[in-house]
Amino acid sequence: MRQLPADFFRTPYAFYRQLRAEGPVHQIRLRTGVRAWLVVDYDAAKEVLRHPDIRKDPHSATGAQARHAAAGNSGVTAANQRLSHHLLNADPPHHSRLRKLVTPVFAPARMEALAPRVTAIADELLDRIDQAAGPVDLVEEFAFPLPITVICELLGVPVEDRAQFRDWSAAVVDTPMSTPAGMRSATDAIVDYFDRSVAARRKHGLGDDLISQLLTATDDGDRLSHDELISMAFLILIAGHETTVNLIGNTVLTLLADPPRYRALHHDPSAVAPLVEEMLRYDGPVNVATLRYTAAPITLGGTDIPTGELVLVALASANRDERHFADPAAFDPDRPSNHIAFGHGIHYCLGAGLARMEARIALTRLVRRFPELRLAVDEGDLRWRESILLRGLLDLPVHPAGAPVDSTGAPARR
């Protein structure tokens, strides 16, 4: 059974390349004791993501048994179950019902209508950065507050609560790596928070926010139950900002490693959209997809997997599979886009359009305001989140104004 190497969170791609050379599926044990089958091959990943005998519902007998058997010392089974009734934990036909009720909230036209407000928030944050007297942490000051502010406004929850949202997110977003105590404490607090939010709307009247819309969402008389509603609000809050935080941070870091490419965007903002799309493949915000389990014995990539086993799909590895991407370790925005960074099949991310739009606006406004942005530390000193599910930086210290550059476009040595 494989273990993650010590430097996995900083640089997972060498480990994934080695695993792909040995086969598409591997048994793995995380430091929390979680045991699972890790899928690293593009074709096998897509097969898992649409396989009818690989499920997500933790409430079924097989799902509960699989999680308990493989949980180790993690928080996999410790979450408040009232938050477990959302799309990412549902299988057909229940998933189809939930998605039908929730999809209108994420209609593409509605998401694109947010663009002016996203732009305004980005500019407000960049104004603050412009006033800084020295290096700033771009994650803390830009990549995090932009999407969390958007999500808070969408949900109709106070933006001033975003600090506790960040703490909760850190505790619950990565169940295989979390602690039982941290998971239970955070999910209990989230349940209490959204119980109160829903009660306030029932008492004082609905608004035009997403929680109000989920309260009134209907399909031939069918509505979300209370726990389905707070579960969806929880999912929107967490998933709605985590992906974008990492996508912005990872993209800026990749560009700052190639200053001429970064500065070229200042004069050609049309290049931002394909660049973001390639970034999703090259060093995307999601490392491994959320938990699945086998509901029947399956054979995957020539490997037999029994019933009741956890399965983890390494999206980051699949998106660098040499059999599907020419020179996959190269960052090439001109390549065709066929990545699976947002998943595949029925669980394809509902918020993908919002994440793309926020990243596109964030990068365009950042380069427009700070064309000479540069790292304030050596790249090797940057800290990465120790998350099996997410791929993102803990911080990104930068000099906003930049420094004189030499003829190659690199910062001049002083």
pLDDT 10s digit of each residue in the chain, 414 long?
999 999 999 999 999 999 999 999 999 999 999 999 999 999 999 999 999 999 999 999 999 999 999 999 999 999 999 999 999 999 999 999 999 988 888 888 888 899 999 999 999 999 999 999 889 999 999 999 999 999 999 999 988 898 888 889 888 989 999 999 999 999 999 999 999 999 999 999 999 899 999 999 888 889 999 999 999 999 999 988 999 999 999 999 999 999 999 999 999 999 999 999 999 999 999 999 999 999 999 999 999 999 999 999 999 999 999 999 999 999 999 999 899 999 999 999 999 999 999 999 999 999 999 999 999 999 999 999 999 999 999 999 999 974 433 334 444 433
CATH of the domain at 143: 1.10.630.10
Amino acid at 284: G
| pLDDT value for 166 | 86
| pLDDT value for 333 | 96
Phi, psi of 391 (to 5 degrees): -125, 100
Nearest-CA neighbor of 54 among 264, 252, 268, 308? 308
Is the residue at 411 inside a domain?
no
Is the residue at 412 inside a domain?
no
Nearest-CA neighbor of 320 among 11, 7, 112? 11
Is the residue at 408 inside a domain?
no
d(CA 187, CA 185): 6
| pLDDT value for 95 | 95
pTM, two decimals, is 0.93
List 36's β-bridge partners, or say none.
Answer: 28
How do beta strands 397-399 and 374-375 pair?
antiparallel
d(CA 312, CA 387): 13
d(CA 308, CA 1): 17
Is the residue at 156 inside a domain?
yes
For residue 229, the enclosing domain spans 2-399
Is the residue at 342 inside a domain?
yes
| pLDDT value for 141 | 97
Is the residue at 404 inside a domain?
no
User: What is the dihedral sign for C-alpha 187, 189, 191, 197?
Assistant: negative
**Dihedral angle, C-alpha 109, 115, 118, 119, nearest 10 °:** 180
Q: Are 402 and 374 in contact (CB under 8 A)?
A: yes
- In the chain, the number of structural domains is 1
d(CA 99, CA 167): 28
Phi, psi of 105 (to 5 degrees): -65, -30
Is the residue at 409 inside a domain?
no
Is the residue at 388 inside a domain?
yes
pLDDT digits (tens, 9 = 90+) for 130-185: 999 889 999 999 999 999 999 999 999 988 898 888 889 888 989 999 999 999 99
d(CA 12, CA 199): 44
